[in-house]
Structure 1
Amino acid sequence: MSNTRHLSVVIAREPEAVYAFARDVENLPRWAAGLATAEVHPGDRDGELVAESPMGTVTFAFAPDNPFGVLDHDVTLPDGAVVHNPLRVLAHPDGAKVVFTLRRLAMNDEEFDRDTAMVEADLERLKGLLEAP
């Protein structure tokens, strides 16, 4: 089994609109349940954010705002481990394709499958919010 999975969804919206919505921390609890289950707050360091997640309290920071659709974010878990999460919004003939790269790290097969399902659900929620009338 692969140690990396590229999970994606196509959203019928302009890539810039998808990027702006996904990057807005106020929207994270609405779609990124794997990262933020409640309101996101500024952290102690510049650009750092704090959120309650299924893993407990985490801190994270997005890549700087950019025109390339890069939403990579480093998440510091409650145990101090840092996980780099590549996330991209790409132009697609039908709008935008959002791609999240999930790495196995120290997960067993069951945990990796569970995390895969959580990310897929997050991406589907993002799609639903952005394609809603």
Structure 2
Amino acid sequence: MESRHVSRVIAASPQDVYEFAVAPANLPRWASGLAEADVEVKDDHLVVQSPMGEVRVRFVPRNSFGILDHDVTLPSGATVTNPLRVLAHPDGAEVVFTVRQLDLSDEEFEQDARTIAKDLDALAALLES
């Protein structure tokens, strides 16, 4: 299994990036690989219409460390853990998403990495405008 860190520097404070990224209502604005429509909050998880169908997302509790790790339960019932961090950077913040190949083909893995890079670019565009 291969892992790849996809990152993007954003000219905004780590706190601002974290607060924007963790807000469920903002997910469809920047996380196209995860949320295609409004997010429904149910108890301790989110119900999201994604490109994969309806998924359940559970983020780690809010924290002061910039950790946005989240589990995504797919329509198949399989759960994928996604490490996501907002780090301090000399130019603002750096967002780092760890993509794991798991049972994906090489092409699917490359597509996931491209989608995540595009999503991080969208996050940066929203926060830098």
TM-score (norm 2): 0.98
Question: Residue 101 in 1 paired to residue 81 in 2?
Answer: no
Residues 1-30 of structure 1: per-residue CA shift (max 9 Å, x gap): x70000000000000000000000110000
Give the match for residue 127 of structure 1: 124
Any stretches of 5+ residues in structure 2 without a counterpart?
none
Give the match for residue 90 of structure 1: 87
What is the distance in 1 between the residues matched to 2:41 and 2:22?
A: 14
4+ long deviations beyond 3 Å:
none
Correspondence 1:1-133 to 2 at 5 A:
3-43=2-42, 46-132=43-129
What is the distance in 2 between the residues matched to 1:64 and 1:13?
A: 22
Report the secondary structure of 1:50's partner residue. Answer: strand
Give me the CA root mean square deviation: 0.8
Any stretches of 5+ residues in structure 1 without a counterpart?
none
TM-score (norm 1): 0.95
Q: Could you tell me which amino acid in structure 1 is paired with residue 27 of structure 2? A: L
What is the aligned residue count?
A: 129
Q: Could you tell me which amino acid in structure 1 is paired with residue 55 of structure 2? A: V
Q: Percent identity?
A: 58
